[in-house]
Copies of this chain bind each other. A is one copy, B any other.
Amino acid sequence: MTMDRLDAVFGALADPTRRAILARLASGDLAVGDLAAPFPVSQPAISRHLKVLEGAGLISRSRRATARLSHLEAEPLRQATSWLARYQAYWDERYDQLDEVLAGLEPKPTDG
């Protein structure tokens, strides 16, 4: 249950082709062929990238006629962001006030 999905997620994101695939899927579901078109790699290579993304939970797939549509599933990205959030304080002191704002309480004036 507590399987380290972060391994798979970060591993998936480490490849620029896969990040580009996710970026394209953000605009809508796509078939393998459409997805492969802009990339200088073969269709089987894209199929394997999709398999990696699916393994990381970053996409889900469905059938429409002979095509297989890939659908972006951003939840793992949220988990990754959640892990990274631990370090926000190390690069951005605005994090504190941001955190407060997000906490749901009423925002206060920036300066007293």
Contact = CB atoms under 8 A, between A and B. Distances in A.
Interface of A: 4, 6-7, 10-11, 13-16, 19, 22-23, 26, 72, 74-75, 77-78, 80-81, 83-88, 90-92, 94, 98, 101-102, 106-110
Nearest to A102: B98
Could you say how many copies of this chain the assembly holds? Answer: 2
A16 B7 contact: yes
Given A10-B14, A101-B107, A107-B108, A72 B84 contact: no
Interface of A is mostly: helix
B87 A84 contact: no
Contact of A78 (B83, B92, B107): B92
Given A72-B90, A98-B101, A19 B83 contact: yes
A4 B98 CA distance: 28
